[in-house]
Structure 1
Amino acid sequence: MDTFPPILRDFPHQFETERLLIRLPLPGDGVYVNEAIHESLDHLKPWMLWAQNPPTIEETEINVRQAHCHFLERVDLRFHLFEKKTKRFIGSSGLHQIDWNIPKFEIGYWCRVSESGKGYITEAVRGLTVFAFEILGAKRVEIRCDERNIRSRKVAERLGYRLEGVLRNHRLAVDDRLENTCVYAMTPDDFRFQSSRQRVSASQ
């Protein structure tokens, strides 16, 4: 078992993809996040427990600062997504349910509704997948989602995550229906295979 204290782990707090700046939450982000949540409530409500009621700016800022602390403590790594050219807040992703002994992570994500359908979440999750394996030394990365959430499932499948199984009647969904939870995962071997495929595709 790895006894190295997670809080002492050093790694970058931000990185860039083709269109996105992806960084840890910072004090002051609450106003941008709150605006995106309010804009997207109807879009988020079917899938996100935290989106059932519109938060105040103060409540969102408290949540952002808690996420900032959790990031520094290495207990949860939320990342905020910003479009590089406009600095517009796009949404949020991150590495959650962390087990540093493996290490293992679960990627979650949401996008503000006005920016959905533009490939930002796929781009962000691809970047976080690379970050998890190449920077954090991940041995397993998961994406879990409601079986009915086709958009989330397509992100995982597009990036080469394997559907390992469906947990039937796994939990109560936000609409109080029993949820079948899809478990997608990637290991270092899967990651290397996907990376080699992308290199071959790019060279053709």
Structure 2
Amino acid sequence: MNIHSIDPILIPVPESFESSRLQIRSVVWGDGAAVHEAVQESAAELRHWMPWARQVPSVEESEVSIRRSRLQFLERSDIRLLLFHKKTGQLIGSSGLHRIDWRVRKFEIGYWVRTSYAGQGYITEAVNAITEFAIQELQANRLEIRCDSRNTRSARVAERTGFTLEGILRNDKTDVQGNLRDTMVYSKVRGAEY
């Protein structure tokens, strides 16, 4: 059977994997409270870049989001991943593989980190592990990281993890205030970088 003609719902996607300090796993019902707590702590930083963080979702809204993400994971339309510290079990952030094109095997990696864990290399570690997971388990042909051109911390993660800046899309999206912004597009592609 041609791998590109498989219905995505039949594609096996492991529920979890690990890096040196992190357990990285798909969302499950009941994760909403932990996500709410992390977002509440980190709202001041997140609201600059994440439209959904302008107003902190309630615990119930966070759980609804988790349950929708779980359904998307089962459909293979989006793979939201939570990052847990292996020693403490605390949720330290979120990542995932988004804007999936299964025919091309193209995925976009997104991420955010809880404020109390920022600047300690956790997102770089997570992106490296998720990149390896996408290559080995999902046969990714193309991985992307996209970020607002003003989000230097996000851009540094892309650069530290070996993604190549392909270009800057001018006036590509609107920022959280509704103003036009430029988007940096980083990628790794099969054959060139791995």
C-alpha separation in 2, matches of 1:178 and 1:139: 30
C-alpha separation in 1, matches of 2:96 and 2:193: 18
Question: What are the residue-to-residue correspondences of 1:41-52 with 2, within 5 Å?
Answer: 41-52=43-54
Structure 1: which 5+ residue stretches go unaligned? 193-204
**One-letter code aligned to 1:172:** T
C-alpha separation in 1, matches of 2:192 and 2:70: 31
**Matched residue SS, 1:127:** helix
Match of 1:105 among 101, 104, 107: 107
C-alpha separation in 1, matches of 2:69 and 2:56: 19
TM-superposed CA distance for 1:176, in Å, is 2.1
Matched, 1:78 2:80: yes
C-alpha separation in 2, matches of 1:64 and 1:163: 31
RMSD: 1.0
**Matched residue SS, 1:191:** coil
TM-superposed CA distance for 1:55, in Å, is 1.0
Matched, 1:39 2:41: yes
C-alpha separation in 1, matches of 2:173 and 2:98: 18
Partner of 1:195: none
Q: What's the TM-score once normalised by structure 2's chain length?
A: 0.96
Structure 2: which 5+ residue stretches go unaligned? none
**Cα displacement string for residues 168-190 of structure 1 (whole angstroms, at most 9, x for unaligned residues):** 01111112221110000001234
TM-superposed CA distance for 1:134, in Å, is 1.1
**Cα displacement string for residues 152-180 of structure 1 (whole angstroms, at most 9, x for unaligned residues):** 00000001100000000111111222111
Match of 1:131 among 130, 133, 145: 133
Partner of 1:93: 95
**Matched residue SS, 2:92:** strand
C-alpha separation in 2, matches of 1:11 and 1:109: 19
**Matched residue SS, 2:193:** helix
C-alpha separation in 2, matches of 1:84 and 1:182: 32
Higher helix share: 1
**Cα displacement string for residues 120-176 of structure 1 (whole angstroms, at most 9, x for unaligned residues):** 000000000001111100110000000000000000000110000000011111122
Displaced runs of 4 or more, over 2 A: 189-192
**Matched residue SS, 2:33:** helix
**One-letter code aligned to 1:14:** S
Partner of 1:68: 70
Question: What are the residue-to-residue correspondences of 1:1-204 with 2, within 5 Å?
Answer: 2-192=4-194
Q: What's the TM-score once normalised by structure 1's chain length?
A: 0.92
Q: Percent identity?
A: 51
C-alpha separation in 2, matches of 1:191 and 1:138: 12
